[in-house]
Amino acid sequence: MLGKIKATTAFIKEKTGFDGKIAIVLGSGLGDFTRKVEVETTLDYAEIPNFPVTTVEGHSGKLIFGKVSGKSVVVMQGRFHYYEGYSMEELTFPVRVFKMLGVDYYLLSNAAGGINVSFEVGDLMVISDHINFFGINPLIGKNFDELGPRFPDMTNAYNCELRKQAFEIAKENSVALREGVYVGLTGPSFETPSEYRFFNIIGGDAVGMSTVPEVIVANHMKMKVFGVSIITNNGLEIAEGGNKHTDVLDVASLAGPKLEVIFSRLIEKIQI
Ligand code: HPA
């Protein structure tokens, strides 16, 4: 695995000269954030050695290199999901490459189902913590000591300082922000009504099909993580006609402008 990470990193360095410290991952329907980026170079996943290729509608599959708020960033437009059939190693591969490129900050967004009674569809939730319900951990197998320890700490998995800054930004810009625990599971089926209730009872505020594997890997390598979920549907009061992926995409893209404010101001404030 290390050889592949090094080869892909060398390829990207050569093509882009990237020397930034910030990676941004855009979830379902959130691709519009790229309008905030002064694009310098774009690489399709298909042309990057060892990179998997996305299959799901709403994820276009490219790495964008450029500037946001004057800082160099790499933006991952379209992420890899376990339900697409990738292994944990494949779907967390980009995070490892980012670290080797010199990235220290991993900012992510996702679409999620709300299971906190006070949440409304369209809300933004800063992720304070997660519950791994994938039934698997991406660090299972040989540990690469060069990348991180065998038993990484997950106490501050979603960096406290970045969360605090996000709430200050939200206040300054009159953006309503929630905070809560993200339950990550494989999908691709949405949850049954009983499952949504269960995840609420065990302490979750939102459920989704991504994020947890990448965040574990990012923490293994001591990256600082910040994550926001767009609440795209209400798990406790399921809409008439049931849950639909197209509704998820529609709501996520409507919430995009609020997310843009939080991300771009946060990037401005990050001291590197
Ligand atoms: N469940 C799981 N993943 C999701 C949901 C949901 O209700 N909404 C958006 N992503």
Evaluate if residue 30 carries a pLDDT over 80. no
Which residues have C-beta within 8 Å of that of residue 200, sequence separation ≥ 6?
115, 116, 117, 235, 236
59 catalytic? Reply is yes
Catalogue the E-assigned strands of 22-96.
22-26, 38-44, 62-68, 71-77
DSSP string, 103-133: --EEEEEEEEEE-STT--TT-EEEEEEEEE-
128 catalytic? Reply is no
pLDDT of residue 60: 61
- CATH code of residue 175: 3.40.50.1580
pLDDT of residue 54: 65
* Ligand 1 center to 183 CA (angstroms): 10
Element spanning 254, H or E: helix 245-269
Element spanning 181, H or E: strand 178-184
pLDDT of residue 59: 53
pLDDT of residue 58: 52
The whole-angstrom separation of Cα 210 and Cα 165 is 24
pLDDT of residue 243: 84
Read off the pLDDT of residues 179-206 as tens digits, 9 standing for 90 and up.
999 999 999 999 999 999 999 999 999 9
Q: Which residue has the higher pLDDT, 240 or 102?
A: 102
229 catalytic? Reply is no
What is the residue range of 174's domain? 2-269
* Ligand 1 center to 207 CA (angstroms): 6
pLDDT of residue 34: 83
Number of domains in the chain: 1
Per-residue CA distances from 81 to 28, 86, 134, 178, 250 (Å):
11, 7, 11, 25, 20
The whole-angstrom separation of Cα 181 and Cα 130 is 5
Confidence of residue 52 (pLDDT cuts 50, 70, 90): confident
Q: What's phi and psi for 172, nearest 5 deg?
A: -60, -30
Judge whether 104 and 156 are in contact, CB under 8 Å.
no
Confidence of residue 57 (pLDDT cuts 50, 70, 90): low
pTM of the model: 0.95
Read off the pLDDT of residues 206-243 as tens digits, 9 standing for 90 and up.
999 999 999 999 999 999 999 999 999 999 988 888 88
Ligand 1 binding pocket mutation candidate from 190, 244, 247, 251 (most atoms within 8 A of CB):
190
The whole-angstrom separation of Cα 126 and Cα 166 is 8
Confidence of residue 29 (pLDDT cuts 50, 70, 90): low
> What value does the mean pLDDT take over residues 49-74?
83
Question: Which residues line the pocket of ligand 1, CB cutoff 6 A?
Answer: 111-113, 187, 190-191, 207-209, 232-233, 235, 243, 248
Evaluate if residue 19 carries a pLDDT over 60. yes
245 catalytic? Reply is yes
Ligand 1 binding pocket mutation candidate from 212, 232, 253 (most atoms within 8 A of CB):
232
pLDDT of residue 56: 58
Q: Is 122 exposed, middle or buried (0-12, 13-18, 19+ CB in 10 A)?
A: middle
